[in-house]
Amino acid sequence: MKVFKFKGGVHPPDFKALTADFPITAMPLPETLLVPLSQHIGAPCKAVVIKGDHVSRGQVIGEAGGFVSAPVHSPVNGTVVKVDTAGNALGRTVPAIEIKPDETDPLAFSGEGVTELTAEAVKKVVKDAGLAGMGGATFPTHVKLSPPPDQKIEVVLINAAECEPFLNCDNRLMLESPGKVLRGAWLFKLAMGVEKCIIGVEKNKPKAIAALEKELSGGAYPGVFVQPLRTRYPQGGEKQLIYALTGKEVPSGALPAAVGAAVYNVGTACALVDAFDTGLPLVQRVLTVSGDAVTRPGNYLVQIGTRVSFVLEQAGVIPEKLAKLVLGGPMTGFATGNLDIPVTKGTSGILALSEAMAEEADQGPCLRCGKCLTVCPMGLSPTQLDQAANAKRVDILMDLRVRDCIECGSCAYNCPAQRSLLQSMRVGKGLVMAHLQAEKAKAEKAAAEKAAAENK
């Protein structure tokens, strides 16, 4: 099929060779796990267990706080040590539940799969299992399965681009479990009631493409196709992937459903199969540990709630060499100094970098060179948005469409002055969101006061 080229983008060194050939290895359990109740975009969960409760693996410990929310489950059989808080990659503190695994069979699970192959059955499994986007966005998956009535989904896309440097977790899933990836894709296709599902894989993963195509040759997944894509960051951006595979552009401020597309990640597809076939909710994930400050980089199956410090210990961190720690990929991830942050549904990677690998030049004044404009895949003006964010000019930020920024970091990567443009985009989006929320609250207050006056 025809592949379209999105505008902008960059070609950063991918560093994938550091872990590309390392098979997925199950990481042992730590002494305790700290499971956050907010692991997704939307309303946080409410704890339904208390200190001293014994919990079973897969048991709900946090109930969804609304429609745009996803339940949280216990990753182990164990005892609740306390209902506490945990830090996250954004530097915020969220409610969390600390669990001590049982000494015997902490990972034993006695759930049951589903045999009813219907769209409604798949949707129920997705919602009950707490699935969320595992590529980093962590949007509750069941919400994507319920588009507005006036927006008909025509095609399901599986994001297998994995364009972020260093990361190989999706690549290894495709290599080691191609059947599971394809079955997950087919289940999403069934749930959405469409005829076609396209799995988009960057061409720098030829072995993964071959593994998927070999599995497809058996004819077990009708309507599912594999499409190689050019290697260019951010090929895995949702809007860029949609354009590359369909030629359709998602309008400003709209969601993929507006152009008849629904996009899911490789990891989410595999988690759906686990939940559908065995009843196991989303309590574990594969992530990549890489960088030159660990002696055992690789791709690990980790239980959600495992602290970053334990992951690094198992990966052979060299403390005196560790200069920078990044959660996620280097382009869109977050640098942190908090080793107590736990692994969540959206933790795709942990990068431990030495000073040499993480070296950054001092930030200088904007050179007005326009290089950030040429690589922005959304056609924005990062330099002007940077100025508006620093000046806290919400009106300009809105006029320049800061909310259309996908936070890919291409602008910052291409800036010869080393401006922290991505951080400015995030600050600007936060300023706009706070402004809109304040305006909404003001309007609601005025409406309430008017209604009260009329009722007198």
Which pLDDT tens digit goes with each residue over 129-158? 999 999 877 889 999 998 888 899 999 999
**pTM for this predicted structure:** 0.93
What pLDDT does residue 92 have? Answer: 83
Express as a percent the part of the chain with pLDDT over 70. 100
pLDDT band at 75 (very low <50, low <70, confident <90, very high): very high
Predicted confidence (pLDDT) at residue 21 exceeds the cutoff of 80: yes
Structure tokens at 72: 């949280």
Q: Helix, strand, coil proportions of the chain in percent (round to 5)?
A: 35, 20, 45
pLDDT tens-digit series, residues 371-416: 999 999 999 999 999 999 999 999 999 999 999 999 999 999 999 9
Structure tokens at 171: 């690549």
Which has the minimum average pLDDT: 57-71, 180-194, 277-291? 57-71
In angstroms, the first-to-last Cα distance of the chain is 66
Express as a percent the part of the chain with pLDDT over 90. 84
Whether the ω angle into residue 234 lies within 30 degrees of 0, i.e. cis, is yes
What pLDDT does residue 173 have? Answer: 98
pLDDT band at 52 (very low <50, low <70, confident <90, very high): very high
pLDDT tens-digit series, residues 312-371: 999 999 999 999 999 999 999 999 989 999 999 999 999 999 998 887 777 899 999 999
Which residue, 68, 125, 135, is CA-closest to 272? 125
pLDDT tens-digit series, residues 226-251: 999 999 999 999 999 999 999 999 99
Query: CB of 342 within 8 A of CB of 305?
Result: yes
- Count the Cβ atoms, other than its own, within 10 Å of residue 428: 25
Query: CB of 69 within 8 A of CB of 376?
Result: no
Rounded CA gap, 315 and 269, in Å? 27
Predicted confidence (pLDDT) at residue 309 exceeds the cutoff of 90: yes
What are the angstrom distances between the C-alpha of 193 and each of 188, 262, 273, 410? 9, 11, 18, 36
